[in-house]
């Protein structure tokens, strides 16, 4: 069996570049908006945000530029990827949208919806963790397999899944950006929900940084940090990388040598480059 590529590098291969191809050869067509139903495997649960309102205005002015990915059903078509654009088209009053038809299994539908959200418009941490959990349950496979498919370290997948064991109030803090992933990792390392909630309250009340939170958690447990200075620094930069990835909605690398270094931001299409430039320019 041929080796499958990581989904993060493969989604664009499913959607043809249409600008230089005749309509009948490009693999897409204009489909009535009402003939499309949402993806039941869509990991994103919340679509309302200022960014979504901006997308609606863009769609109203320019239409849908990148085709939606759909699969054929008995009643019409079901979304695989592009639900934000489809919802924006509905709100903008469009009657048709460009689509590419692709036959996929339910698991592939979940995979593609997950990777599109990760690389194009990020999920919040809890939505992403829930999507990981659902994929593992539906496929009855391992975190290692999922990590390879997503092009991530297994530890990253494991840390995301640990979020689902946090108290609901902490999970909601993550959804609403009151806590960062770095804070959540520290809280997940505490033994009881009571300890987690107590430290959560202090983080919010005193606006503690991740490093302050780590130090406080260590003192409360009456232990010294198990990590060396280099390990602590590596952990800190992993947290920064994860936070940047979530903020920008794409892969980010931080490379450091001595006191100098560089930040590498990846993009996978001209459209995504434009989005990143707009985001970075404020």
pLDDT in tens, 54-71: 888 999 988 888 888 898
Q: Which of 57, 83, 194, 233 is labelled catalytic?
A: 83
121 vs 38: which has the higher pLDDT: 38
More confident call, 266 vs 222: 266
Where in the sequence of the chain do the CATH 1.10.10 domains occur?
166-280
What pLDDT does residue 117 have? 63
102 pLDDT above the threshold of 60: yes
**Least-confidence region, from 113-117, 122-126, 196-200:** 113-117
Q: How many CB atoms lie within 10 A of CB 16?
A: 14
- Identify the band that residue 96 occupies on the pLDDT scale cut at 50, 70 and 90: very high
Q: What is the pLDDT of residue 120?
A: 54
Q: What CATH number does the domain located at 7-105 have?
A: 3.90.1530.30
Highest mean pLDDT among 1-10, 77-86, 200-209, 223-232: 200-209
Give the pLDDT score at 87: 87
Where does the pLDDT of residue 196 fall: very low under 50, low under 70, confident under 90, or very high at 90 and above?
Answer: very high
Give percent of the chain with pLDDT exceeding 90: 20
CATH code linked to domain 166-280: 1.10.10
Tell me the C-alpha distance between 117 and 114, whole Å.
5
Q: Does 193 score more than 50 pLDDT?
A: yes
| In contact, 100 and 15? CB cutoff 8 Å | yes
Which range of 20-29, 105-114, 189-198 scores highest in mean pLDDT? It is: 189-198
**% of the chain at pLDDT higher than 70:** 78
Confidence of residue 33 (pLDDT cuts 50, 70, 90): very high
Q: Where, residue-wise, is CATH 3.90.1530.30 in the chain?
A: 7-105
Confidence label for 231 from pLDDT (cuts 50, 70 and 90): low
Whether 57 is catalytic = no
């Amino acid at each position: 069996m041929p080796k499958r590529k990581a989904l993060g590098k493969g989604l664009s291969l499913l959607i043809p570049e249409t600008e230089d191809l005749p309509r009948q050869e490009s693999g897409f067509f204009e489909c009535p908006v009402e003939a499309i139903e949402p993806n039941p495997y869509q990991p994103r649960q919340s679509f309302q945000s200022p960014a979504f309102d901006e997308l609606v205005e863009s769609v109203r002015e320019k239409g849908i530029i990148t085709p939606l990915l759909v699969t054929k059903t008995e009643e019409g078509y079901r979304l695989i990827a592009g639900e934000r654009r489809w919802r924006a088209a509905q709100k903008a009053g469009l009657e048709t949208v460009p689509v590419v038809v692709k036959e996929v299994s339910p698991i592939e539908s979940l995979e593609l919806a997950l990777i599109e959200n990760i690389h194009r418009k990020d999920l919040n941490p809890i939505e992403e963790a829930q999507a990981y959990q659902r994929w593992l349950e539906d496929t009855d496979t391992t975190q290692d397999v999922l990590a390879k498919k997503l092009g991530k370290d297994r530890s990253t997948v494991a840390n995301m899944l640990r979020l689902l064991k946090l108290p609901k109030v902490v999970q909601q803090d993550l959804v609403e950006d009151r806590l960062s992933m770095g804070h959540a990792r520290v809280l997940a390392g505490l033994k009881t929900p009571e300890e987690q909630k107590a430290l959560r309250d202090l983080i919010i009340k005193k606006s503690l940084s991740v490093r302050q939170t780590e130090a406080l958690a260590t003192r409360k447990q009456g232990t010294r940090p198990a990590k060396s200075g280099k390990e602590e620094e590596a952990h800190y930069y992993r947290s920064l990388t994860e936070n940047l990835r979530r903020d920008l909605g794409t892969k980010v690398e931080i490379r450091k040598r001595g006191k100098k270094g560089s930040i590498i931001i990846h993009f996978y299409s001209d459209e995504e480059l434009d989005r990143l430039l707009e985001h970075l320019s404020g």
